[in-house]
Chains A and B, each alone.
Chain A
Amino acid sequence: MKLPSFEFLRARSLAEAWALHSDAGGDAVYLSGGHSVVPSMALRLQAPSRLIDISQIAELHGVELQGDALRIGAMTRHAEVLANPLIARHAPLLSRAAPHVAHPAIRNRGTIGGNLALADPASEFPAAVLAMRAELEVMGPEGQRMIAADDFFLDLYETALIPGEVLTAIHVPLPPEGRMFGFDEIARRRGDYAMVGVAAQADLSDGVVSDASVTLFSVGVTPMRATAAQDALKGAPLSTDSIARAQAALATDLDPPDDPGFPAERRLQLARVLLGRVLTRMEAVQ
Chain B
Amino acid sequence: MKVMLSTTVNGEQVQEAVLPRTSLADFLREDLGLTGTHLGCEMGACGACLVLMDGVPVHACLVLAVQAEGSTIETIEGLNETGAAADLQARFHDRNALQCGFCTNGMLMSAQALLEANPAPTRDEIRDALSGNYCRCTGYEAIVDAIDTTARDRAARTEAAK
Q: A residues engaging B (CB < 8 A)?
A: 1-8, 10, 31, 34-35, 38-39, 42-43, 51, 53, 55, 79, 99, 102-106, 108-109, 189-191
Q: Which residues of B contact A189 (CB under 8 A)?
A: 131
Q: Given that A7-B1, A105-B57 are known contacts, is A51 also in contact with B20, CB under 8 Å in the complex?
A: yes
Cβ-defined contact, B20 with A104, below 8 A:
no
Contacting residue for B110 out of A51, A99, A104, CB 8 A: A104
When distances are taken between beta carbons in the complex, the residues of chain A under 8 Å from B1 are 7
Q: Which residues of B contact A102 (CB under 8 A)?
A: 44, 132
Tell me how far the C-beta of A24 lies from the nearest C-beta in chain B, rounded to whole angstroms.
14
Q: Report whether A190 and B43 are in contact in the complex, using a CB–CB cutoff of 8 Å.
A: no
Closest chain B CB from A124 CB (angstroms):
15
- B56 and A35 contact, CB distance less than 8 A: no
Total interface residues on B, CB under 8 Å, equals: 30
User: Are B56's CB and A79's CB within 8 A?
Assistant: yes
24 A-B residue pairs with Cβ-Cβ distance under 8 Å, sorted by A, are A2-B21, A3-B21, A5-B19, A6-B20, A31-B64, A34-B63, A34-B64, A38-B23, A42-B42, A42-B43, A43-B43, A53-B66, A103-B47, A104-B110, A104-B114, A104-B128, A105-B44, A105-B50, A105-B132, A106-B62, A108-B53, A108-B58, A109-B62, A191-B131
Contacts of A79 in B (CB 8 A): 56
**Closest 8 CB pairs between A and B?**
A103-B132, A8-B20, A3-B21, A105-B57, A108-B56, A191-B131, A190-B131, A103-B131
Interface readout for B3-27 with A: 1 if CB under 8 Å, 0 if not? 1000000000000000111010010
Q: Does B138 contact A (CB under 8 A)?
A: no
Q: Are B19 and A104 in contact (CB under 8 A)?
A: no
Which of B3, B62, B132 contacts A104, CB < 8 Å? B132
CB of B59 within 8 Å of the partner chain: yes
Give B107-123 as 1s and 0s: 1 = Cβ < 8 Å from A's Cβ atoms: 00010011000000000
CB neighbours (8 Å) of B63 from chain A are 34, 38, 109
Q: Are the C-beta atoms of A34 and B132 separated by less than 8 Å? A: no
The CA-CA distance from A43 to B61 in the complex, in Å, is 13
Chain B: minimal CB distance from A193 (Å): 11
CA distance in complex: A51, B1 (Å): 13
A38 and B62 form a contact (CB under 8 A)? yes
Distance (Å) between the CB of A172 and the closest chain B CB? Answer: 25
Cα separation A87 to B1 with both chains bound (whole Å): 41
B99 at the A interface (CB under 8 A)? no
Among the listed A1, A5, A39, A51, which residue makes an inter-chain contact with B62, where contact means beta carbons less than 8 Å apart? A39
A-B pair number, CB within 8 angstroms? 87
Question: Measured between C-beta atoms, what is the minimum distance from B94 to chain A in Å?
Answer: 25
Q: In the complex, what residues of B have CB within 8 A of residue A103's CB?
A: 47, 131-132
Given that A1-B42, A108-B57 are known contacts, is A8 also in contact with B131, CB under 8 Å in the complex?
no
The B36-58 residues at the A interface (CB cut-off 8 A) are 42-44, 47, 50, 53, 56-58
Given contacts A106-B59, A108-B58, contact A6 B21 (CB under 8 A): yes
CB of A104 within 8 A of CB of B64, answer no
Most-contacted residue by chain B among A4, A6, A8, A35 (CB, 10 A): A8
CB-defined contacts of B131 to chain A, threshold 8 Å: 103-104, 189-191
Binary interface profile of B, 76-107, with partner A (CB < 8 Å = 1, else 0)?
00000000000000000000000000000000
Interface residue? B142 (CB, 8 A): no
CB-defined contacts of B114 to chain A, threshold 8 Å: 104
How far is B117's CA from A108's CA once the two chains are assembled, in angstroms? 13
Q: Which residues of B contact A99 (CB under 8 A)?
A: 128
For residue A55, which residues in chain B have a CB less than 8 angstroms away from its CB?
67
Q: Is B62 touching A34 in the complex (CB atoms < 8 A)? A: yes
Inter-chain contact A8/B3, CB cutoff 8 Å: yes
In the complex with contacts A8-B3, A105-B58, A191-B132 CB distance below 8 A: yes
Q: Beyond A34-B67, A109-B62: 14 further Cβ-contacts under 8 Å? A: A6-B20, A8-B3, A8-B20, A31-B67, A42-B43, A79-B56, A103-B47, A104-B114, A104-B129, A104-B131, A105-B57, A105-B58, A105-B132, A191-B132
How far, in angstroms, from A108 to B110 measured CA to CA in the complex?
Answer: 12
A185 CB to closest chain B CB (Å) equals 14
How distant is B128 from chain A, measured CB to nearest CB, in Å?
Answer: 7
